């Protein structure tokens, strides 16, 4: 009988380096979670309980729901307005900056135009400009256009993200092959519909793509039929002229 291979004694134990690394990770996790834990506990206490009770445990009076009610009623519901404004800022700035960065990054990655490298170098250089330097010029510029103390005064500066343009250009260069772009600019309708028809033969795609291919065929044929109907008299005249003897 072959003797089973035995594992070395202590092989299932972690090395000192792994223990030290895990220890640092747990310390870092505690560093980030402890303030959140304290914040949750403090939200359950009354104003007096914040100073009379232990900071990392509940007070004898659970006051969370009353605190929420007082929060929403303070200054005629100003907190709700602040939350609405913050949601508008965050949504419009994030979506707008992502869209602009994607369009600009795609253009820098795909198209060759005069001054492309110079413009991209300027965008990269603007990444290293501190935001505090731009605060005063932005304030005067927005004030001169009448946009100060409006939502646009916060949204418009957030739409410009030079680092996002850099990331989108790198992504477009690696994720979008030039061959695919050339093929999509040069497809004829017949070739495109044929490719969809071939794709429809694959499992799970037939019910959707066959209907699309048929509809596309009808749409593609309609211009030809309309041209034939409206221009048939010219074709008839051309045929008759060719049949007349000199």
The whole-number pLDDT of residue 209 equals 66
The Cα-based distances of 34 to 46, 58, 60 in angstroms read 20, 15, 21
Question: Cα(236)–Cα(87) distance, rounded to whole angstroms?
Answer: 66
Question: Cα(49)–Cα(59) distance, rounded to whole angstroms?
Answer: 6
| Percent of the residues in the chain that have a pLDDT greater than 90, as a whole number | 7
Residue 57 CB partners (closer than 8 Å, separation 6+): 41
More confident residue, 146 or 215: 146
What is the rounded (10 degree) CA torsion for 196, 172, 105, 96?
Answer: 60
Q: What is the mean pLDDT of residues 15-21?
A: 79
Question: Cα(180)–Cα(175) distance, rounded to whole angstroms?
Answer: 10
Q: Indicate the helix (H) or strand (E) that contains 23.
A: helix 16-43
Question: Cα(190)–Cα(241) distance, rounded to whole angstroms?
Answer: 34
Question: Cα(239)–Cα(212) distance, rounded to whole angstroms?
Answer: 38
CA atoms in the 13 A half-sphere facing the CB of 77:
3
Q: Is the pTM of this model over 0.75?
A: no
Count other Cβ atoms within 10 Å, centred on residue 220.
14
More confident residue, 1 or 28: 28
The whole-number pLDDT of residue 100 equals 92
């Amino acid at each position: 009988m072959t003797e089973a291979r035995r594992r070395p004694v202590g092989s299932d134990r972690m090395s000192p380096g792994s223990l030290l690394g895990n220890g640092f990770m747990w310390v870092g996790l505690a560093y980030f979670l402890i303030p959140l834990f304290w914040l949750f506990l403090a939200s359950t206490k009354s104003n007096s309980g914040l100073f009379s009770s232990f900071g990392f445990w509940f007070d004898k009076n659970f006051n969370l729901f009353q605190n929420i009610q007082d929060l929403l009623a303070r200054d005629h519901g100003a907190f709700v307005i602040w939350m609405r404004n913050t949601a508008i800022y965050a949504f419009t700035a994030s979506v707008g900056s992502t869209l602009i960065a994607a369009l600009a990054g795609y253009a820098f990655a795909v198209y060759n135009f005069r001054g492309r490298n110079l413009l991209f170098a300027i965008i990269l250089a603007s990444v290293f400009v501190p935001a505090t330097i731009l605060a005063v010029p932005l304030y005067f510029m927005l004030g001169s256009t009448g946009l100060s103390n409006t939502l646009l005064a916060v949204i418009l500066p957030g739409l410009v993200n030079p680092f996002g343009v850099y990331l989108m250009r790198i992504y477009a260069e690696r994720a979008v092959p030039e061959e695919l772009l050339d093929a999509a600019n040069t497809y004829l309708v017949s070739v495109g519909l044929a490719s969809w028809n071939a794709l429809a033969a694959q499992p799970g795609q037939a019910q959707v793509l066959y209907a699309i291919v048929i509809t596309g065929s009808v749409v593609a044929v309609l211009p030809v039929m309309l041209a034939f109907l409206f221009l048939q008299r010219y074709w008839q005249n051309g045929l008759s002229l060719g049949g007349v003897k000199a």
